Structure 1
Amino acid sequence: MQRGHHSISELFDQLGLPSTDMDIEAFIARHRPDSLGCALPEAPPWTATQAAFLREAIAADADWAQSAEWLSLALCQS
């Protein structure tokens, strides 16, 4: 049986990105200045496929939505 929500590390895996805590912190630090004020799927670091996945996950309130919301706060909000 699968859990209802995925961790931020699992989200990074799903996006095809390195997913250790250190990798995630470095990604946020590197991309946050250019992403502030953007909706998460429109933030600059994503490929078209990654942005589409994030858009769908948020819109559908899918199992990934909670992790995507956390990432949005960490990456896009001041």
Structure 2
Amino acid sequence: MDTTPQDLSHLFDQLGLDNSEQSIATFIANHTVPANVLLCQADFWNDSQKSFLKESIEEDAQWSELIDHLDTQLR
């Protein structure tokens, strides 16, 4: 059982991104996902990040709720 806390900081860590509050805020401010594009298809993710996001949503994994939250913030 994975006991990793479920918050944006840890999601960004899972994605291999800087997970400080300032870096998360900057990332969200500097990236937008167009309405007709799935979050996992946004052009600013690398292939590994895209796979993680896609698989987490498809499998309704532990990260899916946070990924949905991030998706909302990037729109």
Distance 2:42 2:17 in 1: 15
Which structure ranks higher in relative contact order (CA pairs < 8 Å, sequence separation ≥ 6)? 1
User: C-alpha distance in 1, partners of 2:66/2:51?
Assistant: 15
Amino acid of the structure 1 residue aligned with 2:18:
P
TM-score between the two structures when normalised by the length of structure 1: 0.84
How many angstroms does 1:36 deviate by?
Answer: 2.5
* Structure 1 unaligned residues grouped into runs of 5+: none
1-structure distance, mates of 2:57, 2:44: 17
1:70 match: secondary structure: helix
TM-score, with normalisation over the residues of structure 2?
A: 0.87
The separation in 2 between residues aligned to 1:44 and 1:11, in whole angstroms, is 18
Please identify runs of 4+ aligned residues in structure 1 that moved more than 6 A.
Answer: none
The worse-fitting range, judged by mean Cα deviation, of 35-44 and 8-17 is 35-44
Q: For residues 36 and 20 of structure 1, what CA distance do their matches in structure 2 show?
A: 25
Matching residue of 1:51: 50
Aligned length, in residue pairs: 73
Q: Which residue of 2 aligns with 1:24?
A: 24
Is 2:64 the counterpart of 1:65? Answer: yes
Name the structure where helix makes up a greater proportion of residues.
1
Per-residue CA distance 1:23-48 (angstroms, 9 max, x = gap): 1110011112xx23121101121001
State the Cα RMSD in Å. Answer: 1.5
| Residue identity opposite 1:59 in structure 2 | E
